[in-house]
Amino acid sequence: MLNVTPSAFPASGSQQRAAAGGRSKVPLKPGRSLMDWIRLTKSGKDLTGLKGRLIEVTEDELSKHNKKEDCWICIRGFVYNVTPYMEYHPGGEDELMKAAGTDGTDLFDQVHRWVNYESMLKECLVGRMAVKPIAALKGVLPEKRVLASSAKDLSPSYDWFQTDSLITIVIYTKQKDMNADLVIVDCQDKQLRGEIIMDDHSYLVEVDLDHAVSEDVAVNIAEKVGKVEIILNKKDNIHWKMLGQPCEGHNTFIKRTDRGLFYRKCKLVSKTEVTHDTKLFCLMLPKGTHLRVPTGQHIYLKHIIAGTEVVKPYTPVLPFLPLDFQEPPCHDGVHLYLMIKIYSHGLFTQALDHLQIGDCISVSNPEGNFKKSQVQTSEDLLLLAGGTGFTPMVKLLNFALTEVSCLRTVKLIFFNKTEDDILWRNQLEQLALKDERFEVQFILSQPSKDWVGKQGKISPSLLSEFVKRSRRDSKVLICICGPTPFTEQGVQYLKDLGYSQEEIHAFTA
C-alpha cells in the first residue's frame, strides 16, 4: 500500500485537483484525494446500491437519477452511479451534475478525455444502456460520422502492394506539407496502426494483418505530394491475399478529439538526477513504433496504481540543450526524454520514481495546440517558465535558435523557489554565452540570503522590467508555462501590459 497522508494531497493547485487542465479550482475536502477514492473502491462497499447486480438502463430510467444524492451518468454506453464519487471529483460536484441523468460522454471528452473514467468508476457500474430500436436511432447519428462525410473531399485514402519480402501501405493524404511529426505508426505482433494528423483531424489505417511481419517498420514521407509509405517486412516469403482484417476505426477521417488516445508500452532505459527532486527519465519506444513528439506538445503516461488506471501529462524534452547549432536537433526517433519532478506526496510521480530500469509504462500519442508557425513569424521570443513549466521551453528554445532565422532575441525568464531548484542552470548559462541572441534571467521566490539575483513571484513590475520588444514595432511571441496560478496571473499581467491574446501562448493541458 502506498504511504500517503490523506489530508496532504492533492494540494490545491495540483493537477489531481485541477484535472481539467486548470479549468477547475474546486478544493477537495481532506480525505477526498484520488488515492482515497481508490481505497474506497477497494473496500468492498456496495457503491452502486445494486449489490453487484448489473442492469439494462433505459433512457427514462437514467433521467430519473438526476439528483446529487441519486445521480447516474452514462459514459460510452455504460451507466455509472456517481453519487459516491461526487466529493472526490477534481472538477467539483457542479461539473459532474451537468451530466446528471444523461449521456455525459461528450461533456467528459471535451473536458478531460484523457481521464479513464471507465477504470476510475468501475465499482460504480450500474449496467449498460438498453439498445434502442433502429428507427429511433435515425437522426441521432454520432457527430463523427456526419463530420467524416462532410470532410469527404479532404479525406486521405490508402492502397497497398507487396513484393516477395515487403508489404507497402501507401497513404495519399492530399496534404502538401506532410512531415514526420504528423505520422504515427505502431506495428506489434500482427496489429498495424498508422495515424496521420491533419490539423484537427486524424486519418487511421488499422488492421489485423493477414500474416506476421518483423518488428522493423520503415516510414517514408514524400512531403511535397503528401504521400506516406509504411513498409513492413514479411516474416515468411508468402503471397498475401489481403492486407488483413480492418479494425473498428480503420480508414476513418475524423476529428482528433473523437479518436481515443492510443498508448504503447515503452521501456525505462535510464533515470538520471537533474536536481534534488527532478529526474530525467529516458524511455525507449518499441521497435515497431514511429512517433515524434512535436515541439510544444505533451504525451500522457498511463500506469496502474493500486488497480486503477492513472493518467498524467508530461512534456518531452531533449537529453540536453544542444550548444552546437550546426548539428541537427538530437532526437533519434527511438528515445523519449521526460524531465519529471518527484513530489513526496505525489500519487503518480511516486509510482514513476519506483519504476526500475527495464520496467514498462504506457505512453500516448502527442497532444497540444502549440503551432511552430507562431515562432516562425516572430522577431522576439519570450519564455516565462515556473519550475517544471520549463519543459516545453526546451524544444522550443532549440527550435527557435536553430531553425528560425527572423528571431532577433530569445529570452527565458525562469521562476523557481530556490537556486537548487533551477533546472539545467549550467546549460542555460553556457547557451547564453554561446549565442548572443539568447538571454536567461533566474528569479527566485524563496532565495537564500546569499542570492544576489532577482527575487519574487510573477508580478507586473517584474514583467515590465524583463518583457520587452527589441524594437518598438517588433513581432513578439510570449510563451508561458508553470503552476496554474502562475500561468493565469502571468497571462493577465501581460494583457494589462498591452500584449494581445495572439502574442501570448499559455501551455495548459
Q: Binding residues for ligand FAD, per CB under 6 A?
A: 8-11, 13-16, 21, 298, 312-315, 338-341, 343, 345-349, 388, 391, 483, 509
What string marks each residue from 435 to 464 as x (binds ligand NAD by CB under 6 A) or -? ----------x-----------xx------
Give the SS3 label for residue 460.
Answer: helix
Minimum CB distance to ligand NAD smaller for 15 or for 81: 15
Given a contact cutoff of 8 angstroms between Cβ atoms, the answer to whether 384 and 458 are in contact is: yes
Q: Say which amino acid occupies 70.
A: D
Number of residues that bind ligand NAD (CB under 6 A): 26
The span from the CA of 172 to the CA of 179, in Å, is 13
**Cβ density class 418-454: b for 16+ within 10 Å, e for less:** ebebbbbbeebeebbeeeebbbbebbbbebeeeeeee
Q: Which does 9 bind (CB under 5 to 8 A by kind): ligand NAD, ligand FAD, none?
A: ligand FAD
The span from the CA of 278 to the CA of 264, in Å, is 24
Q: Which does 458 bind (CB under 5 to 8 A by kind): ligand FAD, ligand NAD, none?
A: ligand NAD
Minimum CB distance to ligand NAD smaller for 104 or for 392: 392
Select the span of 134-142, 176-184, 394-402, 485-493 touching ligand NAD (CB under 6 A). Answer: 485-493
Q: Which does 10 bind (CB under 5 to 8 A by kind): ligand NAD, ligand FAD, none?
A: ligand FAD
Given a contact cutoff of 8 angstroms between Cβ atoms, the answer to whether 249 and 259 are in contact is: yes
Asked if residue 24 binds ligand NAD (CB under 6 A), the reply is: no
Taking Cα atoms as reference points, which of 453, 399, 396 lies closest to residue 422? 453
Q: Which of 201, 202, 489, 493 binds ligand NAD (CB under 6 A)?
A: 489
Give how far the C-alpha of residue 319 lies from the chain's centroid of Cα atoms, to the nearest Å: 19
Give the SS3 label for residue 161.
Answer: strand
Minimum CB distance to ligand FAD smaller for 35 or for 197: 35
Q: Which residue is nearest to ligand FAD (CB)?
A: 346
Reading the block at residue 475, the C-alpha cell is: 513581432
Q: Which does 36 bind (CB under 5 to 8 A by kind): ligand NAD, ligand FAD, none?
A: none
Measuring CA to CA, how many Å separate 235 from each of 208, 211, 239, 241? 15, 8, 11, 15
* Residue 392 beta carbon to ligand NAD: minimum distance, rounded to whole angstroms: 5
Asked if residue 398 binds ligand NAD (CB under 6 A), the reply is: no
140 CB-near residues (< 8 Å, 6+ apart): none
* Residue 482 beta carbon to ligand NAD: minimum distance, rounded to whole angstroms: 5
What residues line the site for ligand NAD (CB under 6 A)? 15, 298, 315, 341, 386-389, 391-392, 415-417, 421, 445, 457-458, 481-483, 485-486, 489, 507-509
